[in-house]
């Protein structure tokens, strides 16, 4: 069957055969894709070509543009520029729905099933088989055929079971089955393994290999390099919104791959060696627990020390930081500069000299429509110079300008809305906001997420210099290289507990890599 | 400074990205207040040219006084819109304040100077109730205030029973319909005072800043140390207070009040319209009160002009609706990065089954 025919299928078409036997293999190519989000560039002229019968993996650091690329190709995001070419035909104005009609399916990082509907309804949603009466659904046919789709993807569940009772792994397999129902033969997996166990990952990989055997065109994203080498036929590296390298997995070493992902500019930086044994304790966390998220977390940070919190996504790192800062409730003690910090809230934390730079800048950091100047002074409005009860605009502007200069925020003016700045400049502005609060203890959660190389280097020098000035720093980062470069000491959080600790020259990529998966070996 | 001065090399000279260069038209539209003043004058002058009676000093004074209840409500409405809220109950708050003070004035000849704090207090209380539901019960403000609009309406009817306020002391009538000097009615004084005071509070105090921060991004505001719940509560209280003041203004201007005062003219919707035309948005974090005040005058002049120009009165509402939509389009244009030509090209392209983004994409 031709693609042209598929495009005009009405909503109630028949589902595709469970074994995908009627598929025409086709390559799918993206040319010179550019995409920005609110001024932050996610892709700048990136091109990639996925071939049939191939598992093609995109790797790169957070914010490099991997997900954006797959989402553009699956019609989730509309590119600002560039072309999408499927089997020689250019696709225009792609939406998730038209992408599926063209045979392109994206298995999202977090499955998006309708929780209250049954597994079989989720499978056929959008193309429910019709019964003879108008507007009626052929439930019997649906339940009967569902079994064979589930079998194909290795999913063993009751079709009538609500989707909310399925595990994440099962939900992902159901998404794959849905792709088959929709006759899709280009299937993208956006970081599917980040929340799977080793066994579940193997089940998924088996399915991917079987689909490859049937000449499906497969795209994959993962942060776990072992997996990348295990499953990939091709590896494309993205960095700072661009494609920087393309490798065959048997012709590249791990180190070469990491260098391509991280970029030389950063890799050249040297670790600092400092002796902080005489410094006083600035932050002490004692037995901090919050139901489910984490328990019995204890650690301390000295003045001027940079402590890393390593851990997988979901290990509880961010929740711990948010609890210390008072965003979410927790039991246990926090002592700031020798004083117990009770009745925790962001307002009292800031007043006590503790600040927290959130990982999700868009939702928890910036006031998108508000001017850069007011974004910078937002956390310190209470202490700005005043005339009686009234703020003094000129003085405020001067303070904001100085703060912006210190962190090298690049902007045409302080009066433009912060959303028109790039991700890197927005993050620089967030640093200037929090440095204005003159903290004694600073927690930086993913301080370089979604910023370009230049901003990253600047942020590293800011962290260096404020730690030299005696501020205690806690850094949470998924980029282990970052922890190696910046930290004097690193503790690993695994499933809500502190499992191990390293300091000084023992902080290496390999060591951290094993620590974050829960290995305690000394 | 505790020595936080990273020794970074000086900032390279910033080149203004293209998106930040703004056309003259866009800059003009960004000056919403000036634009509205110009439009108001234009409507006024056109109508005056057709019917010179429109420009008599008596009529100017009437227009100003007549617009004040709405203008005061619009100022309050803007405050809740800035925190990404909405208050539909202002009509009933106005009504409750108007009949409460009205009956005291009619039956007991109560002084207007006593009625002023009473009206404000009624407004604050009713506004606080709205705020508590929004903050504590986490019910969306449109639902909360739809509910309280109806409940407060019931209270208003309960106060009235079978009676209406028909005679108020002469001093009330003077305040509501006479001039302070030449064409400036007494009514303009509270309207202007409230607007100027709120404008200063919004721009120059922490409280004002917090309103914008909470409206722009409540999560980020909380993490920046702003007491989000207190800020939300205060916004609804202030909006209620101004609606209470609006009630007293209504009473003195019309010398009467009854169980339907306020809601019968849908003044709650007009106040939202005025806030939006004035440049405040429902998505929060943007706008101000000066624009809303002028927009209320603009609406008043437009509606009266429609009458004077002999257009059938049913077109009143249509005119306001069109103005409202036009204001939103201006907002969209003014805050978007696309030029007018691109916007038109995109609109045409959409007609030809193409997406607007493609057009702008190809221009790069």
In terms of phi and psi (left: phi > 0; alpha: psi -120 to 50; beta: otherwise), the region of B291 is: alpha
Summary mean pLDDT of chain B:
85
User: Is B352 a member of any domain?
Assistant: no
Q: How many domains does chain B have?
A: 1
- B354–chain A Cβ distance below 8 A for any pair: yes
Higher pLDDT, A265 or A290: A290
CA distance linking residue A238 with residue B44, whole number of Å: 61
Return phi, psi of residue B119, to 5°. Answer: -60, -45
Task: Assess whether pLDDT exceeds 90 at residue B10.
Answer: no
Closest in B7, B19, B221 to A465, CB measured: B7
Cβ pair A365:B357 closer than 8 A: no
CA distance linking residue B48 with residue B305, whole number of Å: 9
8-state DSSP, B165:
B
Q: What is the pLDDT of residue B200?
A: 95
What ranges make up the beta strands (E) of A345-401? 354-357, 386-387, 390-391
Task: Assess whether pLDDT exceeds 80 at residue B345.
Answer: no
pLDDT tens digits for range A405-450 = 999 998 888 988 898 887 888 999 999 999 999 999 999 999 988 7
Percent of chain B residues topping a pLDDT of 70:
83
Higher pLDDT, A178 or B230: B230
pLDDT tens digits for range A13-36 = 566 666 655 667 788 999 999 988
Which residues face A84 on adjacent strands?
A30, A91
Higher pLDDT, B116 or B346: B116
Q: How many CB atoms lie within 10 A of CB A400?
A: 25
Q: Which range marks the domain in which residue B198 is found?
A: 58-331
Q: Is residue B107 classed exposed, middle or buried when 0-12, 13-18 and 19+ CB atoms within 10 A define those classes?
A: exposed
Q: What is the pLDDT of residue B350?
A: 46
User: Is B84 a member of any domain?
Assistant: yes
CA distance linking residue B113 with residue B187, whole number of Å: 15
Tell me which residue of A212, A213, A219, A192 sits closest to A204, measured CA to CA. A192
Task: Kindly compute the dihedral angle of the four CA atoms of residues B206, B207, B212, B218, in this order, to the nearest 10 degrees.
Answer: 100
User: Is B23 a member of any domain?
Assistant: no
**Residue A443: partners with Cβ closer than 8 Å, 6 or more residues away:** A321, A324, A325, A354, A355, A356, A357, A473, A474, A475, A476
User: Is B184 a member of any domain?
Assistant: yes
Across B80-96, average pLDDT: 96
State the pLDDT confidence band at B361, using cuts at 50, 70 and 90.
Answer: very low
Measure B232 CA to nearest chain A CA, in Å.
16
Chain A residues close to B357, C-beta within 8 Å: 78, 80
User: Is B33 a member of any domain?
Assistant: no
User: Is B45 a member of any domain?
Assistant: no
Summary mean pLDDT of chain A:
86
State the pLDDT confidence band at A2, using cuts at 50, 70 and 90.
Answer: very low
Flag the least confident range among A123-137, B51-65, B187-201. A123-137
- Return the SS3 of B33: helix
Residue with tokens 């391509």: A260
Task: Kindly compute the dihedral angle of the four CA atoms of residues A226, A229, A235, A237, in this order, to the nearest 10 degrees.
Answer: 30
Task: Assess whether pLDDT exceeds 60 at residue B227.
Answer: yes
User: Is B14 a member of any domain?
Assistant: no
Higher pLDDT, A360 or B342: A360
Two structure tokens written together for B263: 């809601």
Closest in B220, B227, B364 to A347, CB measured: B227
CA distance linking residue B94 with residue B120, whole number of Å: 10
CB A209 within 8 A of CB A227: no
Strongest mean pLDDT among A183-192, B54-63, B233-242? B233-242
How far out from the chain centre does Cα A432 lie? 24
Percent of chain A residues topping a pLDDT of 70:
92
- A291–chain B Cβ distance below 8 A for any pair: no
Task: Assess whether pLDDT exceeds 50 at residue A168.
Answer: yes
CA distance linking residue A302 with residue A489, whole number of Å: 11
Q: What is the pLDDT of residue A196?
A: 76
Closest in A81, A378, A413 to B213, CB measured: A378
Q: If you measure CA to CA, which chain B residue comes closest to A362?
A: B220
Strongest mean pLDDT among A134-143, A169-178, A449-458? A169-178
User: Is B64 a member of any domain?
Assistant: yes
* A/B interface, count of CB pairs below 8 Å: 137
Tell me which residue of A386, A392, A381, A479 sits closest to A433, measured CA to CA. A381
Q: Domain holding B222: CATH number? A: 1.10.3470
State the pLDDT confidence band at A265, using cuts at 50, 70 and 90.
Answer: low
Q: How many CB atoms lie within 10 A of CB A435?
A: 24
**Residue B96: partners with Cβ closer than 8 Å, 6 or more residues away:** B122, B126, B152, B155, B156, B159, B247
Measured between alpha carbons, how far is residue B284 from residues A238, A512, B196, B223, B296 in Å?
36, 44, 21, 18, 20
Compute the Cα dihedral for B212, B217, B223, B224 and give only its sign.
Answer: negative
Task: Assess whether pLDDT exceeds 80 at residue B338.
Answer: no
Interface of A with B in 446-465 (CB under 8 A): 458, 461-462, 464-465
Q: What ipTM describes this predicted complex?
A: 0.79
Cβ pair A366:B220 closer than 8 A: yes
């Amino acid at each position: 069957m031709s693609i042209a025919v598929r495009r005009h299928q009405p909503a109630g078409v028949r589902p595709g055969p469970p074994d995908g036997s009627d598929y025409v293999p086709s390559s799918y190519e993206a040319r010179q894709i550019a995409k920005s989000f609110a001024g932050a560039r996610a892709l700048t002229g990136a091109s990639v070509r996925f071939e049939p019968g191939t598992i093609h993996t995109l790797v790169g650091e957070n914010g490099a543009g991997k997900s954006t690329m797959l989402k553009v190709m699956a019609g989730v995001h509309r590119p600002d520029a560039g072309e999408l070419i499927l089997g020689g035909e250019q696709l225009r104005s792609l939406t998730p729905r038209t992408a599926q009609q063209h045979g392109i399916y994206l298995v999202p990082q977090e499955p998006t099933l309708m929780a209250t509907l049954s597994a079989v309804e989720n499978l056929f949603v959008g193309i429910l088989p019709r019964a003879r009466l108008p507007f009626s659904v052929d439930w019997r046919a649906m339940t009967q055929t569902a079994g064979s789709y589930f079998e194909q993807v290795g999913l063993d569940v009751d079709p009538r079971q609500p989707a909310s009772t399925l595990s994440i792994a099962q939900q992902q397999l159901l998404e794959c089955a849905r792709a088959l129902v929709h006759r899709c033969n280009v299937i993208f997996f956006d970081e599917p393994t980040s929340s799977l166990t080793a066994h579940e990952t193997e089940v998924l990989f088996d399915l991917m290999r079987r689909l490859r055997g049937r000449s499906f065109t497969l795209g994959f994203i993962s942060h776990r390099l072992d997996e990348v080498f295990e499953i990939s036929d091709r590896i494309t590296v993205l960095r700072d919104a661009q494609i920087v390298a393309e490798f065959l997995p048997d012709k590249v070493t791990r180190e070469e791959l990491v260098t391509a992902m991280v970029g030389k500019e950063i890799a050249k930086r040297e670790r600092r060696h400092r002796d902080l044994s005489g410094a006083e304790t600035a932050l002490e966390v004692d037995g901090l627990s919050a139901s489910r998220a984490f328990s019995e977390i204890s650690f301390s940070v000295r003045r001027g020390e940079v402590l890393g919190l390593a851990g997988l996504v979901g290990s509880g790192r961010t929740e711990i930081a948010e609890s210390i800062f008072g965003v979410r409730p927790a039991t246990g003690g926090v002592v700031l500069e020798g004083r117990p910090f009770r009745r925790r809230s962001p307002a009292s934390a800031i007043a006590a000299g503790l600040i927290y730079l959130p990982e999700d800048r868009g939702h928890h950091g910036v006031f998108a429509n508000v001017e850069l100047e007011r974004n910078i002074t937002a956390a310190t409005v209470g202490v700005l110079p005043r005339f009686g009860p009234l703020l003094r605009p000129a003085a405020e502007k001067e303070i904001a300008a100085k703060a912006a200069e210190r962190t090298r925020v690049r902007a045409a003016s302080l009066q433009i809305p912060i959303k028109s700045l790039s991700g890197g400049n927005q993050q620089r502005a967030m640093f200037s906001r929090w440095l204005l609060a003159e903290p004694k203890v600073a927690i930086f959660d993913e301080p370089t997420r979604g910023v370009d190389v230049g901003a990253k280097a600047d942020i590293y020098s800011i962290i260096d210099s404020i730690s030299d000035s005696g501020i205690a720093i806690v850094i949470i980062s998924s980029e282990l290289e970052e922890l190696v470069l910046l930290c004097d000491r690193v503790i690993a959080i695994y499933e809500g507990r502190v499992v191990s600790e390293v300091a000084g020259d023992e902080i290496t990529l390999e060591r951290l890599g094993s620590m974050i998966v829960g290995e305690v070996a000394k | 400074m505790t020595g936080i001065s990273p020794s970074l090399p000086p900032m390279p000279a910033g080149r203004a990205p293209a998106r930040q260069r703004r056309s003259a038209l866009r800059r003009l539209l960004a000056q919403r207040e000036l634009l509205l003043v110009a439009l108001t004058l234009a409507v006024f002058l056109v109508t005056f040219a057709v019917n010179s009676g429109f420009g008599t000093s008596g009529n100017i004074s009437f227009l100003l006084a007549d617009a004040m209840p709405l203008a005061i409500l619009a100022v309050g409405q803007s405050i809740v819109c800035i925190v990404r809220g909405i208050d539909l109950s202002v009509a009933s708050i106005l009504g409750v304040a108007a009949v409460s003070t009205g009956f005291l004035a009619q039956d007991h000849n109560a002084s207007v100077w006593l009625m002023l704090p009473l009206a404000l207090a009624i407004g604050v209380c009713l506004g606080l109730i709205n705020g508590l539901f929004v903050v504590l019960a986490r019910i969306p403000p449109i639902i909360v205030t739809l509910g309280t609009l109806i409940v407060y309406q019931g209270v208003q009817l309960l106060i009235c029973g079978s009676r209406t306020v028909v005679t108020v002391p002469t001093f009330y009538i003077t305040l509501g319909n006479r001039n302070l000097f030449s064409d400036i009615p007494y009514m303009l004084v509270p309207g202007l005072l409230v607007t100027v005071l709120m404008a200063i509070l919004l721009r120059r105090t922490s409280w004002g800043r917090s309103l914008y921060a909470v409206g722009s991004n409540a999560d980020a505001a909380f993490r920046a140390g702003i007491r989000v719940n207190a800020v939300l509560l205060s916004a609804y209280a202030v909006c209620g207070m101004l609606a209470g003041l609006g009630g007293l203004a209504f009473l003195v201007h019309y010398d009467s009040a009854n169980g339907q005062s306020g809601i019968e003219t849908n003044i709650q919707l007009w106040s939202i319209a005025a806030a939006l035309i004035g440049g405040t948005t429902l998505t929060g974090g943007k706008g101000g009160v000066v624009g809303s005040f002028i927009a209320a005058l603009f609406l008043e002049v437009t509606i009266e002009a429609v009458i004077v120009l002999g257009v059938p009165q049913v077109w009143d509402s249509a005119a306001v609706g069109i103005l409202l939509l036009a204001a939103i389009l201006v907002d969209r244009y003014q805050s978007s990065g696309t030029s007018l030509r691109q916007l038109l090209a995109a609109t045409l392209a959409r007609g030809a089954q193409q997406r607007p983004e493609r057009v702008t994409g190809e221009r790069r």
